[in-house]
C-alpha cells in the first residue's frame, strides 16, 4: 500500500507538502488531466486522473486498471490551513472502490527552512497504490524553499502499524527554468515484502510547463511486492 499525502507532487498522492505547493504553474489553469502507463513484468496498467486545484486546496478523481489487479476508481481531496505564521496543517482524505478509505494529517513547521511531520491511516481494504510509499505510516522530514523558486527536501516514510520495517527515504529537488521546472526525487527503499526483506533504489523525474507535463519513474518492488514497475505519465493543465 502507499501513503496519502496532504499535497500533491505527482499524479496521485505522494511527496512532501513544500515541494507540492508549486504543483500548479498558473492560477488560470485550475484543472489537470493526467494519463499514466505502468510497465510490469509481462503486462501493463493504466491510470486516468483529473484534478482541480485552487490556492492550497485540491480535489481529484481517477481510475486505475490492469489485468491482474482489475479496476479501481478513486477520489480524494487535500488542503493546507495556516495555523500561525510558521505552522501549516495539511489534512487529506481518499476513497476508492472495494471499500477503501484513508487519510492523513501533516504538519509543516517553519518558514523558508521547515520541518515536516505526518501520519497516514487506512481501513486496510484492498487498494492499488500508484505511489512509492507505505500508507499506514509516519512521515518525518525537512526542507528549504529558495527565493528563486527552487525547493529541496529530505524525508522518510516509515510503516508504524504493521511491523514490516518498510521505509522509503526520499531526496527531492525542484529546479526552476524560466516558465518551466524540473522535479527530481531519489528513493531508497527497504523492508519486508512479498519476496522477503528487500532493498532498492528508485527515482521519479518530472518536467512541468504551464500547460503540460511529462514524467518517468522507476519503483523497485512496487507496493513492497516482488514486482518492479516503470511508470510513464503525461498530461495537460487547462
Task: Establish if 10 belongs to a structural domain.
Answer: no
Nearest Cα to 142, choosing from 166, 119, 111, 168? 111
Tens of pLDDT, residue by residue over 43-92, are 999 999 999 999 999 999 999 999 999 999 999 999 999 999 999 999 99
Cα(17)–Cα(42) distance, rounded to whole angstroms? 35
Task: Establish if 11 belongs to a structural domain.
Answer: no
Cα(108)–Cα(223) distance, rounded to whole angstroms? 26
54, 237 Cβ separation under 8 angstroms:
no
Tens of pLDDT, residue by residue over 177-230, are 999 999 999 999 999 998 899 999 999 999 999 999 999 999 999 999 999 999
What is the band of 10 on the pLDDT scale with cuts at 50, 70, 90?
Answer: very low
Tens of pLDDT, residue by residue over 162-173, are 999 999 999 999
Q: What is the pLDDT of residue 203?
A: 98
Task: Establish if 81 belongs to a structural domain.
Answer: yes
Tens of pLDDT, residue by residue over 125-153, are 999 988 889 999 999 999 999 999 999 99
**Assigned C-alpha cell, 158:** 516509515
Expressed as residue numbers, the domain containing 231 is 17-237
**Per-position DSSP letters for 151-210, written without gaps between them:** EEEEEEEEE-SS----EEEEEEEEEEETTEEEEEEEEEEEEEETTEEEEEEEEEEEEE-S
We report the CATH number of the domain holding residue 104 as: 2.40.160.40
Q: Where are the alpha helices (DSSP H) in 62-145?
A: none
101, 89 Cβ separation under 8 angstroms:
no
Q: What is the pLDDT of residue 194?
A: 87
Task: Establish if 159 belongs to a structural domain.
Answer: yes
Task: Establish if 133 belongs to a structural domain.
Answer: yes
Query: Considering its fold, how many domains does the chain have in total?
Result: 1
Q: Give the 3-state secondary structure of residue 75.
A: strand
Distance of CA 208 to the CA centre of its chain: 16
Amino acid at each position: 500500500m502507499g501513503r496519502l499525502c496532504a499535497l500533491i507532487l505527482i499524479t496521485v498522492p505522494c511527496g512532501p507538502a513544500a515541494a507540492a505547493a508549486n504543483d500548479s504553474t498558473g492560477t488560470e489553469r485550475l484543472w489537470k488531466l493526467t494519463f499514466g502507463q505502468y510497465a510490469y513484468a509481462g503486462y501493463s496498467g493504466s491510470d486516468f486522473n483529473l484534478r482541480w486545484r485552487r490556492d492550497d486546496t485540491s480535489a481529484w478523481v481517477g481510475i486505475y486498471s490492469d489485468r491482474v489487479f482489475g479496476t479501481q476508481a478513486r477520489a480524494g481531496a487535500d488542503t493546507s490551513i495556516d495555523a500561525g505564521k510558521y505552522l501549516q496543517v495539511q489534512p487529506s482524505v481518499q476513497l476508492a472502490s472495494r471499500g477503501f478509505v484513508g487519510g492523513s494529517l501533516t504538519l509543516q513547521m517553519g518558514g523558508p527552512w521547515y520541518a515536516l511531520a505526518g501520519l497516514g491511516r487506512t481501513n486496510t481494504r484492498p487498494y492499488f497504490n500508484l505511489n512509492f510509499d507505505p500508507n499506514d505510516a509516519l512521515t518525518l522530514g525537512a526542507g528549504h524553499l529558495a527565493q528563486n523558486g527552487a525547493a529541496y527536501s529530505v524525508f522518510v516514510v516509515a510503516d508504524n502499524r504493521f511491523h514490516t520495517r518498510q521505509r522509503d527515504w526520499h531526496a527531492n529537488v525542484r529546479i526552476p527554468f524560466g516558465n518551466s521546472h524540473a522535479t527530481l526525487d531519489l528513493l531508497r527503499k527497504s523492508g519486508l515484502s512479498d519476496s522477503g526483506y528487500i532493498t532498492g533504489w528508485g527515482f521519479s523525474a518530472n518536467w512541468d510547463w504551464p500547460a503540460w507535463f511529462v514524467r518517468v519513474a522507476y519503483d523497485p518492488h512496487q507496493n513492497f511486492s516482488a514486482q518492479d514497475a516503470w511508470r510513464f505519465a503525461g498530461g495537460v493543465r487547462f
